[in-house]
Amino acid sequence: MPKKYHIATKPAPPRLHPVGKYATVEFREDCAGSCRKCVKKKCVYNIFADNYYHMSQMGDPEYLYTCNSCFRCVQECTKGIFSRVVNPEYRFLGDDYWTPSIIHRTWYQAHTGSIPVSGAGYRGPFVGEGFDSMWTDMSEIVRPTRDGIHGREYINTMIELSRRPMGLTFDKDMNLATDVPPILEAPFPMLFREHGEFGVDTDNVRLAMARAASSLGTFMFIDPGKVKGELKDHAAHLIPEFTAENWKNYPDLVKACQMVQIPYGPGVKDTVNQLRDIKKDLFIAVAAPLDGDAAKTAVDLLDAGIDTIHFIASHHGKEVNVANPRYLRDAIRDVHVALVENAARLTVNLLFSGGIAMAEHVVKSVICGADGVVLDATLLLALECRLCGRCKDGLSCTGKLEAADPDFGKNRITNLMAAWRNQILEILGAMGIREARRLRGEVGRSMWFENLEKENFGPLFGERKVIG
């Protein structure tokens, strides 16, 4: 058995004051001041001892950034002087899709490298839109294991980015006669990309992402014009996003990289051949918008000799250039099914970017039919971005991303990927699946709200009527 892939983490405390969800209001005039076992000292998470930027800088109330909402301090204070309120600043983070909860939990994971927990449980709606109307099968969660998914048990999260032969042939001496193409692998189903809408255009941010990608063994999509200085040292883990023509200006970069990306359009097959004239074993991805013709685009590219198709969705994980855009869930499924119906799903890999906000989105994307996803806004959040949009208007960054040290950024992104991969392992383990690639397109290992509603409540109450 090969050595288990492992991501080492170390705490990366925030540079700036982080926005916590809860504030603790303490009526100190009633405090006895002599409790030997003050609830602050008994906090099982050491929040009051280890919490960053709370009491020393904020005064009263205390904004507990790393609080896990168990409310033990509120319940057990002998004087009853504690109460919890939601931090008003927290309510204004992000938007309806990139919610305060997503942003806050992403910060926590980038800080600690740990999976976030909540003692208060989930108090939100039963179902939402997109991936929030889809649940994963956990039927194997009670099965006996040896010493758990983080012990001897091996779960492979690796994905391929290269082409695969549809079959093998052998000569009369049983020697392999099939010309097997080279293999390119990523250790988990997550690649990186600079965000097209948000983010300070700074070398520090790009370098942090590139260092993390190189250290983790994954890949980063990048504008070829920005590959300079130290970024050239990470060329093996960079995927230049060329235009239809500018790739001709970067022959050395093409040779230095393992994979490049070109846009979908007329002449794409000729471009593929010309690129492979420069480097025979070059891996090639084609980028296309995730629009209403995405499934047709995938089928059209089957004979182009490419390795991967990269569909790009909106910042909120929806189709683009469509009057009534659908979420990634349904769009991914359509592309996957189209390739299956053409008996060609195994001949090309599918990546999707835009709106991947949580670890569960990665697993659900793979269930719908993706091979992997590409992260963008999530990486900015790891660097303490608040997705406020000020940078889009040319205003200063509230997260001061331009001042982020590349090593600090690498540490934060590495921690986030460790936390996400551990969650992926937990989900795969609960499903009884030992390899991420086995989950691709396995919608039978998921539950979709509309199907459950139709099968269970439909016979009793009829079909749901959409008003408006």
pLDDT at 143: 56
DSSP state for residue 221 in the 8-state scheme: E
Q: Is 194:376 a contact under the CB 8 Å cutoff?
A: yes
Rounded to 5°, angle at Cα 77 from 71 and 80: 100
pLDDT in tens, 241-258: 999 889 999 999 999 999
Residue 175, helix vs strand vs coil: coil
pLDDT at 70: 80
- How far is the C-alpha of 399 from the C-alpha of 394, rounded, in Å? 14
pLDDT at 255: 96
Residue ranges in 38-180 assigned as alpha helix (H): 47-50, 55-58, 72-76, 100-112
Q: Are strands 283-289 and 446-448 parallel, antiparallel or unpaired?
A: unpaired
Q: Is 445:431 a contact under the CB 8 Å cutoff?
A: yes
- How far is the C-alpha of 105 from the C-alpha of 401, rounded, in Å? 19
CATH superfamily placement of domain 159-451: Aldolase class I (3.20.20.70)
Q: Is the pTM of the predicted complex or chain greater than 0.75?
A: yes
Rounded to 5°, angle at Cα 381 from 388 and 223: 95
pLDDT at 58: 41
pLDDT at 26: 66
Q: What's the maximum distance between 2 C-alpha atoms anywhere in the chain?
A: 91
Handedness of CA 388, 390, 391, 397 (dihedral sign): negative
- How far is the C-alpha of 463 from the C-alpha of 251, rounded, in Å? 58
pLDDT at 55: 42
Q: Which runs of E-coded beta strand occur in 264-322?
A: 283-289, 308-312
Residue 253, CA atoms < 13 Å, CB-side half-sphere: 24
Q: Name the residue ranges covered by the structural domains of the chain.
A: 22-92, 159-451
pLDDT at 444: 92
**Cβ-count burial 369-401 (b if 16+ within 10 Å, e if not):** bbbbbbbbbbbbbbbbbbbbeebeeeeebebeb
Residue ranges of the chain with pLDDT lower than 50?
A: 52-61
pLDDT in tens, 195-223: 877 777 789 999 999 999 999 999 999 99
- How far is the C-alpha of 182 from the C-alpha of 395, rounded, in Å? 46
